[in-house]
Amino acid sequence: MTPPLDRRGFLRSATLAAAAPLVPSLPASPASAASGTGLRPAFGTGDSRAGVALSAPSAWTVRPFPLTNVTLNGGGVFAAKRDLMLDHGRGYDVDRLLQVFRANAGLSTRGAVAPGGWEGLDGEANGNLRGHYTGHFLTMLSQAYAGTGEAVYADRIRTMVGALAEVREALRHDPVVLSVPGRFGTAAENVRGSHQYVELPGGVLGSSPSLTLSAWVKPTHDADWARVFEFGDDTTRYLYLAVRNANGHPRFALTTSGPAGEQGVDGTAPLPLDRWSHLAVTLTGTTATLYVDGTAVGRNTATTLDPAALGTLAHHWLGRSHYPADPVFAGAFDQVDIWSRALSAAEVAELRDVPADRSSAGAGDLASYRFDETSGSTFADASGHGRDATLRRTWGAPSHPGFLAAYPETQFITLESMTTGDYTVVWAPYYTAHKILRGLLDAHLHTGDARALDLADGLCDWMYSRLSRLPAATRQRMWNIFSSGEFGGIVEAICDLYAVTGKPRHLALARLFDLDRLIDACAAGEDVLDGLHANQHIPVLTGAVRLYDETGEERYLAAAKNFWHMIVPTRTYGIGGTSTAEFWKARGLIAATLGDTNAETCCAYNMLKLSRSLFLHEQDPAYMDYYERALLNQVLGSKQDRPDAEKPLVTYFVGLRPGHVRDYTPKAGTTCCEGTGMESHTKYQDSVYFARPDGGALHVNLYSATTLTWAENGVTVTQTTDYPREQGSTITVRGRRPATFDLLLRVPTWARSGFRVTVNGRAAQGTPVPGSYFTVSRTWRDGDTVRVSVPFSLRVEKAPDDPTVQTLFHGPVNLVARDSRTDFLRLALHRNTALSGNLAPGFTPVDGKPLHHTLDGIEFAPFFEGTEHPTHAYFRRVEPRIVFGGSESGVANPARADGTTLLDEIWAAAPFATKSALVGHVRITVGAWVAAGLLDPADGRKVVRTAERASYVAG
């Protein structure tokens, strides 16, 4: 349905998304102080961290707190991991990230070297995803600033936003010469990645059968087939001089019948990079001679073609080829001359030392370019013919002035006609646009920089101008293509921008990304996920939740809820991750999919965002049970525990096969997962607390060393804890005046016994129920203290497709065996199980290493420790004989057809209040197995007697 007009008047919360906390206002820079953008003001003025909150969507039944209001306190695993990422963000050279943007716009890259990997022309798929990482980095800096208030992060944001504003301005207009020192005076450089070339006017070759081409070149890249000169119509009729042929040597050729008919001459050695070289070719009669630095290096005396034979040609270029796959010349040009005669060897040699106009040959009589220009797009012809040249882009100009990217618009254009994916041609351009948009929006929300908002606004206007003209069927085809059509969380970001701008076309744009096949199926409860690319589709549903917020259409929210339950728990590994080699398999396939490419880290990031988004509408504790699992295990464990100035050291895949060693630097460290990893490790506190809109209740979802400033209620809430190394948390409420509200404490589903709450030392009334919230209702006074005790127990979780394949948990913490073997460890765990079902009595704690245990000489450690040990997240459970409390029964442990053993069934009923309760359950269970013919009656009696005589630990 169409939203009522007054909905557009709502200002939304600055925490509309996980990465969009409340914004502090900063003193405006001169560039950002300008008004006239036509945008609705988003924030008021104030001190450096006192932003004005935007009201939340009416659909939210609780509201989050911005990162500025929740401080992650020092100490503990969260702060340690965060500080490593903060240091990386503080010190990394942002010019390296901006290099690909500046290059695309033909601007100086300031000598910066792109990071590599996915961020650079030499990375995977020719760098077709370049630019995405800059968006991630902006979001990381924004979150770092919001969480710490350190000005260094705001300063870096301003630098990056200013550079991107310059890039967009450059892209809006014709390219402008980049003047650099030349061989004689100045020269014109075409930065690699700029797609720039020089167009010469028609007639520049003349009609003479003789010819000399001369140019000083300074190549900066060793790509084969980059042209210095190219004159021709197409790939049939042309003449060229290339810096490098397939052997890396200069080559001159001309043809009227395509490549097979080329008559050419080749050099004998490569030209040096980053150094000036003089290239010349002379053609007269049947002889073509190629010169390098004044010396003839190749000669062909059997040429039958000359410029006159080519006739009138359509194109006359410096730096561009008619072959689309050939690179544009990267480097600088100086002293380009064309003569209608063949210069002598002496004349060519003279050009090595003096400019042509001061040589005995004189300036080229057909054309002569000195490249003395320091501005503009035109190069003057000194031949006297007025054949001025013009700087061009191979892809022309953007279709809309709001375009901003680190590559040409061609990827977006090509996608519109694609039917199958090919990431070497088009690699998720709208995914990259999303990351840039999100980074700019976060930069604005956290620093108040109006330039960032203007860039984000223009980017969405450009997307609307492209997508709104396409038929719906075309868009649906695009969005269903892997991976070219992947668009990430762009819908969420656009909706967040709409909440700031109120522009109807922004909401309309968000709906243009509807992936109907997925949304409709999920809304109907139909599981269509098998075979889909996981990270391409999870953000689609987070976007659907935001569309529900803005439109009220139930279809969107229903789809997101159903989708979540299709993944949790049926497609979720113990650490909280999902996907195998980036794709989903059928529901319930866990043991069968364990390998080196499980649990893409981006998927965990996006599942946390989706869980958080759903919790804002429905406070189902299951969302936060999952959130804790994925955050404490996969997300924390994705960050290596060491500093690095160059890389964030974050995993891409998390291999869950036996003996896997985590890779923290995949693909040079600039993948999507490094990007989301930078974000994840600077926003650990974003879902610890949520409040009811009326201020009557505060949800404490995560036990984490944090301090909440709850201004509306006039209180601060501080958790003092080393959770999860500490099994509980102390919560202190401070405030000048009493405040009445309910404190809702999450009781984790795994906390099956011993959860206890005290207020000021006295037990709180009520019975904790695992998988719910425990409510403490009172009028809070300054200094009131709540102690939450959450005893951990050792337990296993079984793979649904093979119950003998299991993973070990200590409370919320996944424990992995550190062992170099590459087959499943075979472990027996029930030798001394406690009455509570706790497996801990069978393990030995490691002194001085919290959460570490040993069993049979094997050390088990928390998954969240970012080490390079070979690990076993899953093992094979083998309980060959029935044992109780260390007492052997002498009876083999029978199993049902589904693999469930007798011991499994007995202990599934834990906890047992007393030994007699356990023994009674053993009798009943044994009787049922004997009756079913699964256990010999005599063996059954032995089992019961063993249970009776054994000694048990209670907890």
- Percent of the chain at pLDDT above 70? 94
Burial class (CB in 10 A: 0-12, 13-18, 19+), 737: exposed
DSSP secondary structure code for residue 947 in this structure: H
3-state secondary structure 472-510: HHHHHHHHCCCCCCCCCCHHHHHHHHHHHHCCHHHHHHH
> 448 — alpha (psi -120 to 50), left (phi > 0) or beta?
left
Q: Give the H or E element holding residue 845.
A: strand 844-845
Please enumerate in sequence order all residues whose Cβ is within 8 A of that of 495, keeping only pairs 6 or more positions apart, or say none.
16, 507, 510, 543, 546, 547, 549, 550
Is the pLDDT confidence value at 257 over 80? yes
- Residue 506's pLDDT band, with cuts at 50, 70 and 90, is very high
Q: Looking at this protein, which amino acid is placed at residue 310?
A: L
Residue 288 CA to residue 540 CA, distance in Å, equals 60
Is the pLDDT confidence value at 8 over 50? no
Token pair listed for 333 = 């040009």
Q: Residues 267-292: what's their mean pLDDT?
A: 97
- Residue 123's pLDDT band, with cuts at 50, 70 and 90, is confident
Q: Residues 770-782: what's their mean pLDDT?
A: 98
Residue 469 CA to residue 58 CA, distance in Å, equals 32
- In Å, what is the CA distance from 566 to each residue of 577, 584, 585, 587, 634? 13, 11, 11, 8, 19
Provide the pLDDT for residue 54: 60
pLDDT digit string (tens) for 671-684?
A: 999 999 999 999 99
Is the pLDDT confidence value at 6 over 50? no
Place of tokens 């269509």: 528
CA-wise closest residue to 650 among 81, 38, 269: 81
- Residue 604's pLDDT band, with cuts at 50, 70 and 90, is very high
Q: Residues 490-514: what's their mean pLDDT?
A: 97
Residue 928 CA to residue 441 CA, distance in Å, equals 63
Token pair listed for 456 = 């984000």
Q: Residues 300-327: what's their mean pLDDT?
A: 96
Provide the pLDDT for residue 49: 46
pLDDT digit string (tens) for 631-647?
A: 999 999 999 999 999 99
Ordered DSSP codes for 270-293: PPPTTS-EEEEEEEETTEEEEEET
* β pairing state of 287-292 and 178-181: unpaired
Please enumerate in sequence order all residues whose Cβ is within 8 A of that of 920, keeping only pairs 6 or more positions apart, or say none.
none
Residue 435 CA to residue 137 CA, distance in Å, equals 9
- Residue 821's pLDDT band, with cuts at 50, 70 and 90, is very high
Q: Residues 275-292: what's their mean pLDDT?
A: 97
The dihedral sign for the CA sequence 2, 478, 577, 566: positive
Q: Give the H or E element holding residue 549.
A: helix 534-551
Q: Looking at this protein, which amino acid is placed at residue 110?
A: R
Is the pLDDT confidence value at 31 over 90? no
Listed by start position, the domains of the chain span: 5-166+400-684, 178-393, 688-726+728-789, 794-949
The dihedral sign for the CA sequence 141, 146, 150, 151: positive
Is the pLDDT confidence value at 272 over 50? yes
Go through 292-306 and write b for each residue having 16 or more CB atoms within 10 A of its CB, e for each that does not.
bbbebbbebeebebb
Is the pLDDT confidence value at 39 over 70? no
The dihedral sign for the CA sequence 338, 342, 345, 347: negative
Q: Looking at this protein, which amino acid is placed at residue 570?
A: T
Ramachandran angles phi, psi of 844, nearest 5°: -115, 120
Ramachandran angles phi, psi of 34, nearest 5°: -65, 140
Residue 121 CA to residue 129 CA, distance in Å, equals 9
Is the pLDDT confidence value at 23 over 50? no
Ramachandran angles phi, psi of 452, nearest 5°: -65, -40
Tally the C-alpha atoms within 13 A of residue 387's C-alpha that lie toward its C-beta: 23
Same CATH fold assignment for domains 5-166+400-684 and 178-393: no
Query: Strand pairing partners for 178?
Result: 189
Provide the pLDDT for residue 898: 86
Residue 39 CA to residue 42 CA, distance in Å, equals 8
Residue 666 CA to residue 671 CA, distance in Å, equals 7
Ramachandran angles phi, psi of 476, nearest 5°: -60, -40
Place of tokens 């400033």: 709
CA-wise closest residue to 29 among 116, 126, 138, 154: 154
pLDDT digit string (tens) for 652-664?
A: 999 999 999 999 9
Provide the pLDDT for residue 669: 87
Average pLDDT, whole number, for the chain?
Answer: 93
DSSP secondary structure code for residue 440 in this structure: H
Provide the pLDDT for residue 383: 97
Architecture field, domain 178-393:
Sandwich (2.60)
Q: Residues 816-821: what's their mean pLDDT?
A: 98
Ramachandran angles phi, psi of 315, nearest 5°: -125, 140
Sheet holding 70-72, edge to edge: 70-72, 706-710, 715-720, 728-735, 784-789, 756-759, 762-763
Helix, strand or coil, per DSSP, at residue 580? strand
Contact in structure between 857 and 809 (CB atoms under 8 Å): no
Is the pLDDT confidence value at 500 over 50? yes
Is the pLDDT confidence value at 27 over 80? no
**What's the CATH fold of domain 5-166+400-684?**
Glycosyltransferase (1.50.10)
Provide the pLDDT for residue 318: 98
* β pairing state of 697-700 and 739-747: parallel
Token pair listed for 34 = 């300008």
Token pair listed for 642 = 């060491």
Provide the pLDDT for residue 12: 34
Q: Residues 857-882: what's their mean pLDDT?
A: 97
3-state secondary structure 659-671: CECCCCCHHHHCC
Contact in structure between 21 and 446 (CB atoms under 8 Å): yes
Q: Is the peptide bond before 484 cis (omega within 30 degrees of 0)?
A: no
Architecture field, domain 688-726+728-789:
Sandwich (2.60)
Q: Residues 126-138: what's their mean pLDDT?
A: 97
DSSP secondary structure code for residue 312 in this structure: S
pLDDT digit string (tens) for 52-68?
A: 356 689 999 999 999 99
Helix, strand or coil, per DSSP, at residue 380? coil
pLDDT digit string (tens) for 739-768?
A: 999 999 999 999 998 999 999 999 999 999
Q: Residues 730-740: what's their mean pLDDT?
A: 98
pLDDT digit string (tens) for 185-199?
A: 999 999 999 999 999
Provide the pLDDT for residue 937: 97
Q: What is the largest CA-CA distance in the chain?
A: 115
CA-wise closest residue to 44 among 36, 35, 52: 52
Contact in structure between 462 and 168 (CB atoms under 8 Å): no
pLDDT digit string (tens) for 348-374?
A: 999 999 999 999 999 999 999 999 999
Give the rounded distance of the alpha carbon of 506 from its chain centre: 23
Q: Residues 89-96: what's their mean pLDDT?
A: 97
* β pairing state of 813-818 and 802-810: antiparallel
- Helix, strand, coil share of the chain (percent; to 5): 30, 20, 45
- Residue 40's pLDDT band, with cuts at 50, 70 and 90, is very low
Provide the pLDDT for residue 29: 31
- Percent of the chain at pLDDT above 90? 92
